[in-house]
Amino acid sequence: MNIEEFVKTALKQIADAATSVEDKEKGQCVNPEIPVHFDLAVTTTEKSGVEGGGQLVVASLLKAGGGANKANEVQEYSRVSFDLHFHIPSKSFSS
């Protein structure tokens, strides 16, 4: 999964979880803006004889499969850390 997909999925799940605990009847409302910290392990893979540049992908702990092309493959691992201030659309404000 690339970083863009990972961040989108994570933020959507955070927003869904936050709005699911709101209870307008009881006056419970989630603060619509929260800081979100990401600290990702990422990999880049370069294969000899393959056109195109590498891309950053969120590192996975489990990789299945194998292949004969491993001898011509170089992987580098790095970390990317960043903060976002994320505005959660609140159900309480939209109703």
Q: Which residues of 32-65 are buried (b: 16+ CB within 10 A; e: fewer)?
A: eeeeeeeebebbeeeeeeeeeeeeebbeeeeeee
Angle at CA 17, nearest 5°, toward 91 and 43? Answer: 130
The DSSP code for 94 is H
Domain extent listing, the chain: 3-94
Query: For 74-90, how does the pLDDT look when each residue is reduced to its tens digit (9 = 90+)?
Result: 778 888 899 988 888 66
Provide Rg for the chain, Cα atoms: 19
Convert the pLDDT of each residue in 19-74 to its tens digit: 787 776 676 777 778 889 999 888 887 776 555 555 667 766 544 455 555 557 77
